[in-house]
Amino acid sequence: MELTPQQLKNYDGTDPSKPIYVAIRGQIYDVTAGKSFYGPGGDYHVFAGKDATRALAKMSKDENDVVPSVDGLSEKEIGVLNDWEKKFQAKYPTVGTVAGN
């Protein structure tokens, strides 16, 4: 499955009939099992329905950081991103990709 960033927004947990998706480096993960974190009111809801690559690398929940760009990230931040990516791969199923990545 391939979703545009606009289509991905439909999977942010606000519609209980749909799964919750978070993308990292263009890979979309079904994080519905973690809906207490990613669903509405959850600590990480800001990532739901988006590509959270930069925010995860920077350990940021700032809405402005929830973008796919890795431009200007430090070596340490790339390492943090790699760790997050491994955690997602181990914990959540990959369901598709974000178009244009």
Q: How many residues does the chain have?
A: 101
Would you state the pLDDT for residue 101? Answer: 65
Q: Distance of alpha carbon 33 from its chain centroid, rounded? A: 14
Where the chain has pLDDT below 50, the residues are none
Would you state the pLDDT for residue 100? Answer: 81
Q: Write the pLDDT tens digit of every residue in 49-65.
A: 999 999 999 999 999 99
Report domain extents, the chain.
2-97
What are the b/e assignments for 17-53, b being 16+ CB within 10 Å?
eebbbbbbbebbbbbbebbebbbeebebbbbbbbbbb
Q: Which two tokens stand for residue 97?
A: 């990709």
Domain 2-97, CATH among 3.30.2320.50, 3.30.750.80, 3.10.120.10, 2.60.40.420: 3.10.120.10
Would you state the pLDDT for residue 32? Answer: 98
